[in-house]
Amino acid sequence: MKKFLAIITLSTLLFTSCSKDKDPVNVVEAEGKTTLTFDAVFGNQDFALNKDFTVSGKTFNFNKFRYWISNVVLVSSNGTEFKVPGSYYLLEETGVINLKGVNNDLPTTVYPATKREDVVLKDIPAGDYKTLKFAVGVDAKYNDNLSLLSGELSPLNGMTNVSWMWLTSYIFTSVTGKVSEGANAQTLKIETGLNTNYKTVALDLPQTLTVSGTKSSRIVLNVDLAKALDGLDVMATPVVGASQGTVMAAVATNYATKVFTVKSLN
């Protein structure tokens, strides 16, 4: 009988221990992911290379559109910020680029034609999020030292320039092509860079973004290139670089305040 009671007591203790181990209160919900889609447009038209866009008597035709998105942050409904680690992404639509024409020191000669609109954010804590933040460009830590790498940062993609400063730094945004007005045609090259033009974008979401380990989600953003050129006389200043500091600053401000809007969330 004593042995029988001992067995019952031991079984009870083991059952209680196992029950505590499986207490659902202690279960942590799995992390999730969400996709950011940067849908390029020009005004009310879908953006495409080698396509004519006519606005206010001017006709634009582009052969390249590239820009850095970095330091992505999701703000939860209670105000807690989740900073996505290593979030440096090159968004682009471009034909083949001869990198030797960009920097003769580069060992690789050709960057392939690329179209990239999606960024997948992984390992996001499960929860509800109300605001999306990100920067356009590369922060000073990495912009001032190209030997430091994080995310997709690399000097081997044609997005660096030795003319910005005394040292090489990243080009934050770049759009090239042609613009014409009547018989007047110009080659277009509008670029931003420099630490002073590193800008942060904050977008309130139209509804709560719920992230979990069992549910996929997507935020679609409109990226309106026409808004990047807002207020710029492209016929008088078709080329914008470090030597056009005031104009470059205005274009960078356009990217921060006008170019990106939330199109949809699901």
202-215 tens-digit pLDDT: 999 999 999 998 88
Percentage of the chain lying above the pLDDT 90 cut: 74
- pLDDT grade for 17, boundaries at 50, 70 and 90: very low
6 belongs to a structural domain: no
Q: Nearest-5° angle of CA 59, CA 47, CA 190?
A: 60
The answer as to whether 16 is a domain residue is no
- Cβ-in-10-Å burial (0-12, 13-18, 19+) of 4 comes to exposed
Determine the average pLDDT of the residues in 181-205: 97
pLDDT of the residue at 102: 56
**Domain membership flag for residue 22:** no
Beta strands in the chain (DSSP E): 32-42, 45-46, 52-55, 58-76, 81-83, 88-94, 97-98, 110-111, 114-116, 118-124, 127-136, 160-161, 169-181, 184-193, 199-211, 218-224, 239-240, 260-265
Per the domain annotation, does 145 fall within a domain? yes
Q: Tell whether the model's pLDDT for residue 3 goes beyond 70.
A: no
What average pLDDT score do residues 184-207 get? 97
CA dihedral (233, 235, 239, 243) positive or negative:
negative
Burial class (CB in 10 A: 0-12, 13-18, 19+), 82: middle
Q: What is the pLDDT of residue 167?
A: 65
pLDDT in tens, 149-181: 999 999 888 898 877 665 689 999 999 999 999
For 109, the domain range is 32-265
Does any domain span residue 222? yes
Q: Is residue 93 part of a domain?
A: yes
Task: Indicate the number of domains in the chain.
Answer: 1
Average pLDDT of 74-78? 96
The residues near 71 (Cβ < 8 Å, ≥ 6 apart) are 83, 84, 87, 88, 133, 134, 135, 139, 200
Q: What is the pLDDT of residue 103?
A: 53
Residue 6: which pLDDT band, with cuts at 50, 70 and 90?
very low
Whether 13 is covered by a domain: the verdict is no
Rounded Cα gap, residues 263 and 120, in angstroms: 17
Q: Does a structural domain hold residue 8?
A: no
pLDDT for residue 119 is more than 90: yes
